[in-house]
Chains A and B, each alone.
Chain A
C-alpha cells in the first residue's frame, strides 16, 4: 500500500512536469499566433529538424550533453538544500582547466583527454569549495557568493586566454587530437555532427549521482542535511562536511560539463563577452527534472531539443529564437509555481469528500 502510494506520487510528479511542458508550449504558441506566425509549422520545424536527420540528431545530443551535466550539478546541491547558482562559473573554470591541459600538457592519446576531463572536474570542484566553505563555516549565503564567483570565473578565463594562452588573439589555438573527445566513427554515424564522447561521461555522471545519493551512507547524510540540517546535526551528522562536499560534487559535475564542451564541441577557448548560459539553463533542467537523475536526463533532452531545434525553427519557419526562450521560461514558471499540483490536489480533495 505504502509502495503503491509512493509510486503514484512519483507518477504525479512526472505527469505534472509533462503538463507543465505542454502548457509552456501552448503559451509559446499563443505568442506566435499573436505575432502572426503559424505555431504548428514552427513546432513542426523545431521537432522534425532537431531529431529526424542524423546530423541534427547528433547536434542535438551535443547540445544535450553539457545541459545534462549542469542539470545534475544543480540537482545534487539542491538535494543538500543548497542553491548552486555558481554552476555557470564552475562550468567556465572547468572549460579553462581542460583547455590548459589540452594545450600545454604533452600526453599520449587517450590519456591526454582523460587528464583534461579530470582537470576540468577538479577545477569546478575547487571553484565550488570556497562558497561551500564559507557557507559551512561562516553561514554566508551560497547564492550571493556563487553569483559573484561567476563573474570572477568569467574574467579570470578571459584574462588567462588573453595573457597566457593566446596573447594578442581572440581565442586559443585548437587542442591537439589527442585531447579531443571527438571520435571519427561517432561523427560519421551522425553525418559529421560534433557529437562526442561527453554524452557517455554525462550519462555515467547521472548514474554516479543515483548511486551516491540513494545508495551510500554519504548520500543519505547529504539528503538528511537537505531535509533538515538541525535534525541531521542532532542525529550526529557532520553538517559542515556535508555542505562542503555537496558543493564540491556539484562543482565537479559543472566542471565536467565545461570540460566536455570545450574538449568535444569547440576544441578551443574564446574570449567570452558574456556568460555561456549553459550553467543557468542547468537550474531549469534540474527544476523540471525534479532533482532526480532520470528526471534530469529527460529534462536535458527536452531543453536540448528546444535549444537546437529552436535555431532551425528560425531558419525554416522564420520564427525568432526568442519565442523558444519564452517557452523555456513558461515551462519553468509552471513547474516552479506548482500549478499542476494545485489542480491535482483540489481535484483529489473533492474526490475524497464525495467518497466520504
Chain B
C-alpha cells in the first residue's frame, strides 16, 4: 500500500511537469538580434570573450540590438550552442575564438539562411557565404610596441616570449623585431617559445634567464604563460626592468613594471561588424582584417615617455597611411627596410 501511494505521488509530480509544459512562449522582437557563443574560457575570462561581449553590450546601448550569450562548457557544446541561436533566427551569431574553426563551416552549411561571425580565424581562406571572419593585424601593434621597446631600452637588449610556435604568434614576433630594428638597429632581440599558453612557471623561467642575460624589456604573446613574465618582473628593480602586455591592458598584473600593452580591440571589431551588418553595409562571406587604421589595435600607455610617444605616433601615421608596410612573416622580415 505504501508503495502505491509513492507511485501516485510520482505520477502526480510527472503530470504537473508535463501539463505546465505548453505555456512557455519566447516572443521575438522585430529588431536586430545578435547572439554570442564563448569558447571554453567563458564570459569573464578577462580576455577576448569578455571584450567581445562588451562590444555587443555597446551595440545594445547604442542601437537597441537584442543580445544574448551562451557559454560553452566543453568543445562538445560549440555546435549545439551555435544551433540554438541559428534556430532562434538571430541576425548574427558570434563565435569567439579560433577554436570554432571546425564548428563554424559545418554549422554555416547547415543553416544557410543564418549569419555567423568568427573572431581570430580566417577559416583557412574558405569562408562560407554567410560567415564573416575577423582577424587582426597583430604585427602592426607589435611593431609599435617594438618601437617603444627599441627607444626605451638602456642595455640594447630586449626579449620576446611566445606561446606556441604558430603563424599567429610569429606575426607578433616578426612585427616586434621589425619595430625594434626600425628605431634601434644596434639592439638585439632574444626570442623564446614556451610551447604552451598555460604554463606560467615556464614563462617565468624564460623571463628570468632573459633578464639575467641583460635584456631590460620583454614583450609576450603567450596567454596564461605570460603571467610568469609579470611575476618575474615584479621582483626586479622599478624603472629598470619592464614587461609589455598583450591582448588587453595588463598593467594590473604589475602596475609599476608594465611599460605598455598591445591591445586587441575585439570589442571594436564585434561592434563594428554587427553594426555594419545591421545597416546592410557589410556583405557576409568576407574576411575583415582589423589593423591600426580600423582601430582594431591600440596601445595602453602606462610608463612610456613623451618623446617616445611622439615617435610612436609618427610610425602609427605611416602605417595607417600605407607608407610603411609591417612584415608579418619571417620572409617579409628579411626584406624589411624601415
Binding site for B on A (CB under 8 A): 11-12, 15, 18-19, 22, 40-41, 43-45, 47-48, 55, 59, 162, 168-171, 174, 192, 194, 265-268, 270, 273, 276-277, 308, 311-312, 314-317, 321, 344, 347-348, 351
Contact = CB atoms under 8 A, between A and B. Distances in A.
A47 B198 contact: no
A33 B84 CA distance: 26
B164 A168 contact: yes
Contacts of B75: 171, 266, 270
Interface string B32-72: 00000000100000000000000000000000000010100
Contacts of A265: 76
A225 to B, nearest CB: 33
B17 to A, nearest CB: 6
- Interface magnitude class on chain B: 35 or more
B2 to A, nearest CB: 5
B23 interface: yes
Contacts of B40: 273
A155 B17 CA distance: 43
A43 B75 CA distance: 25
Given A41-B24, A55-B87, 16 more contacts: A15-B6, A15-B7, A18-B10, A22-B10, A40-B20, A44-B24, A47-B17, A48-B21, A48-B24, A55-B83, A168-B164, A170-B99, A266-B76, A268-B102, A311-B77, A315-B70
Nearest to A44: B21
A168 B165 contact: yes
Interface of B: 2-3, 6-7, 9-10, 13, 16-18, 20-21, 23-24, 26, 40, 68, 70, 73-77, 79-81, 83-84, 87, 98-99, 102, 110, 164-166, 195, 198
Contacts of B110: 192
Contact of A15 (B3, B16, B198): B3
Contacts of A162: 195
B77 to A, nearest CB: 7
Main secondary structure of the interface of B (DSSP, over half): helix
A168 B166 contact: yes
Main secondary structure of the interface of A (DSSP, over half): helix
Contacts of B165: 168
Contact of A169 (B9, B20, B166): B166
Nearest to B78: A266
A321 B71 CA distance: 10
Contacts of A169: 166
29 contacts: A15-B7, A18-B10, A22-B13, A40-B16, A40-B17, A44-B17, A44-B21, A45-B24, A47-B21, A48-B21, A55-B83, A55-B87, A162-B195, A168-B165, A170-B98, A174-B102, A265-B76, A266-B75, A267-B102, A270-B99, A273-B198, A276-B74, A311-B70, A311-B80, A311-B81, A316-B24, A321-B73, A344-B2, A348-B2
A162 B163 CA distance: 13
A315 B36 CA distance: 12
A100 to B, nearest CB: 18
Contacts of B7: 15
A44 B166 CA distance: 47
B214 to A, nearest CB: 30
Closest 10 CB pairs of A and B: A168-B166, A347-B2, A40-B20, A44-B21, A270-B75, A192-B110, A168-B165, A315-B84, A22-B13, A44-B20
A267 B76 CA distance: 10
B164 A47 contact: no
Contacts of B76: 265-266
A15 B4 CA distance: 10
Contacts of B21: 44, 47-48
Contacts of A11: 3
A37 to B, nearest CB: 13
A194 B2 contact: no
Contacts of B166: 168-169
B19 to A, nearest CB: 9
Contacts of B3: 11-12, 15
Contacts of B99: 170-171, 270
A31 B18 CA distance: 20
Contacts of A40: 16-17, 20
Contacts of A348: 2
A43 B84 CA distance: 18
A347 B195 CA distance: 64
A325 to B, nearest CB: 10
A44 B23 contact: yes
Given A12-B3, A169-B166, A273-B40, A308 B80 contact: yes
Contacts of A12: 3
B18 A47 contact: yes
